[in-house]
A and B are shown apart, each in its own frame.
Chain A
Amino acid sequence: MGVKLLLEKANVPGIRTYDVYRREGGYVAAEKALKEMSIEAIVEEVKKSGLRGRGGAGFPAGMKWSFIAKPEGVPRHLVCNADESEPGTFKDRYLMEFLPHLLLEGLLISSFALGSKDTYIYIRGEYAWVAQILEDAIVEATKNGWLGKNILGTGFDCMIHVHRGAGAYICGEETALIESLEGKRGNPRIKPPFPAIQGLWMRPTVVNNVETLAAVVPIIKMGGEEYAKIGVGRSTGTKLISACGNINKPGVYEIDMTISVEDFIYSDEYCGGIAGGKKLKACIPGGSSVPILPANLLLKTAKGETRYMNYESLSDGGFATGSMMGSGGFIILDEDQCIVKNTLTLARFYRHESCGQCSPCREGTGWMEKILQKIELGKGEMSDIDLLWDIQRKIEGNTICPLGDAAAWPVAAAIRHFRDEFEWHINNRALSQTSNFGLQHYADPIHVPA
């Protein structure tokens, strides 16, 4: 059993209610932070913990907090990004649904550290029932004196507001989220200025993921240094992984980041192996926007070392032979899955979710989808593969927000690692409509140069 910090109490009956959460040691960290610790000390603990943003980019949370501008007389805001829309990622939903008070406690401590009197949870509209759970929890917490005016007699006022999005993936991007929260169209802003300087209503703002803010609670409870001892290198603490796809036990798992990818997939504690006794073909290890990896590169790096479930190891080899930790949406594809179809599904998603603000993403995502559709329907030509490659190259890095990159990477990685499957689709047009390319050599051990 690995260390569990966030989901330790998730299975306690009634943990969703305040009374049970409090009895199980809830709000102890908040009490400690508000009564015994200074603002600087809290930020220092988070910095020491090495906690990295759990939303996808992996930016150190303590560092992000220290960037916030503190002009006199201007309110600051903390915004919790609960717009979890990445296909394959559902860890935040689990956390909010079962442990709403854990998030509120993390939000309270973080709000205190950042001086945010109005803290917002921006939750995606599809999580309507989760928003209700959070709202109920806020009412309970307010009733018990954890939110509102003069919390614990410290003179600190804080209110948490739940704001429901309308179901746009792009509103998970922090500046688009801020625009949407302000009541505008959810278009990402052009940076700089960064939200830490001018964010919500042009006030200094920090936007953090649900899991990041929840992780503040164990950090305060056990101390930053203790927290940093869990995990390896710069991947400290525990991470929630939402595993899905062709596995025996899909679900949300909390891992400490020392476990190998192979153990994670095949051990009974976690995914429990590939469903139906089939073979592993490929995996998208961090949510739909990170590069897909074939089985051989997933389990071992290009150097032949074992790949582990942490930020550094998953990105070992760069985009040529590695991927990213991303937001922890672990999608497994077995031997029966078609990579072309999978890539088409992702391309369709990004075409639909592009905000349409900047031209490479607006036009390029639609174009890629159409070409992939053509290949999938058995009408593709060899030149289409190179065209796809050229389009993704021209989108990547040339857009305002990372959605352009997120749309380009899956296509790039699919072509990079599975080019022969694309070629098979084009050379065997009729056959590709009735049968599958299968596993082929994708699980073979890769040649390691001496």
Chain B
Amino acid sequence: MSEQTLFKVTVDNITIEVPAGTTILQAARQIGGAVAPPAMCYYSKLEGSGGKCRTCLVEVSKGSEKDPRPMPKLVASCRTTVMDGMEVKNITSEKVIDARAGVVEFLLLNHPLDCPICDQAGECHLQDLSFEHGKADTRYEFQRRTFKKHDLGKHIQLHMTRCILCYRCVFTADQLTNKRVHGILDRGDHAEIATHIEKSLDNDFIGNVIDVCPVGALTDKTFRFKNRVWFLKPMDAHRDCPSCSGRVTLWNRGDEVFRVTARKDEWGEIEDTPEGKPGWICNTCRFEKKHTNDWIIEGPRAISRHSVIAQGHYAGNIGTTLPTETFKAVNDGRAPHLLMDIHNESEVNLPSIRLSEIDGPSHGTSFNNNSKNA
């Protein structure tokens, strides 16, 4: 049993050996970087998830060593297992890039694009996806579908208008709680997440649906409109919790804990505990322990993937590099027409100042002092 069959799989000309039964997406994630296809609905910790959003479509140019025929259609890499000698094209395939741009456009079709007032902005997978794979414009000119906001119990608010119907929260409720009280009603573009009828989600682990939601459809009512995620400092912390692992990320500003989430890995998924179990956290940890003295703080959390948070100059970023090109270089030599250089007028948010190095809440004075020192 100890000896596992290893399959050789090549993704974008990079070959890797993975155990049989691994999906193409997991294999590509082991290679990492841009080779890993984006995933909006697949969540490795949730059984049965994936296959729905179609953003992870890849081209299989060689089926396997035994049967080298290419697959006729693009396949969802999150639900297709690798075969020995399989060759996969992700970002090297024009078909994939074209189809993915199409999927991004479809996903944004009925999305309200209310990022400026959305709590998920900055850590939103849909933002990342459209930034990396989408087009600047939409060709959609009709009215978008809208829903009223719904309160799903004490802690969670549902913003159905933003939902992309990934089904992750449905799987979470199925697999973490003893009784699921919400699900998908209706079908097609009028399908919606709903409870039947007007029930509240009050299971002790239901707060995890907020963490799995790739967009801002399910939001934490204790955090709504309190702050922008990129102003917060993520800190790893733990407590001795009787019902969950108690391993969390605190999102602080100064000494104030604004919100508590589970620890997420570079793919935006819940990190495993040292025992190898998914580190879901309970509602008590998430919603009620909002003081630093509830927690034993381990140190700053390294956030690597989410573009906007990572741009907040936090120390210890893994793999984030600030862009080296100037705006002029990427804009065919044209400089932007500058009406006013804000940094001449105000010293707040000077790019040279790293927010994570400021001790406590950042005030105007911290910027003033710094600029005087400089």
Contacts and interface: CB of A to CB of B under 8 A. Distances in A.
Interface of A: 168, 170, 185, 190, 351-360, 362-367, 370, 387, 394, 397-400
A214 B103 CA distance: 41
Question: Across chains A and B, which 4 residue pairs bring their CB atoms closest together, nearest first?
Answer: A394-B102, A356-B191, A363-B106, A190-B51
Main secondary structure of the interface of B (DSSP, over half): loop
Given A370-B142, A387-B139, A400-B51, A362 B102 contact: no
A351 B76 CA distance: 23
A400 B57 CA distance: 11
Nearest to A383: B139
Do most interface residues of chain A lie in helix, strand or loop, or is the interface mixed? helix
Interface of B: 50-55, 57, 73-74, 76, 79, 98-99, 102-103, 105-107, 109-110, 139-140, 142, 164-165, 167, 183-184, 186-191
A354 B191 CA distance: 10
Contacts of B73: 397-398
A72 to B, nearest CB: 23
Given A394-B99, A398-B74, A356 B187 contact: yes
A352 B189 CA distance: 8
B107 A359 contact: yes
A360 B107 CA distance: 8
B86 to A, nearest CB: 15
A428 B143 CA distance: 25
Given A357-B165, A370-B142, A397-B73, A362 B51 contact: no
A7 to B, nearest CB: 35
A366 B107 CA distance: 12
Given A351-B189, A356-B184, A356-B187, 8 more contacts: A185-B183, A190-B51, A190-B76, A352-B188, A356-B191, A360-B106, A366-B109, A399-B54
A363 B53 contact: no
B79 A355 contact: no
7 contacts: A354-B187, A358-B52, A358-B53, A360-B102, A360-B103, A363-B109, A367-B140
Nearest to A350: B188
Most buried by B among A185, A398, A399, A400: A398
Contacts of A364: 106
Given A394-B99, A397-B73, A400-B52, A359 B188 contact: no
Contacts of A356: 165, 184, 186-191
Nearest to B50: A190
Contacts of A355: 187-188, 191
A123 B277 CA distance: 44
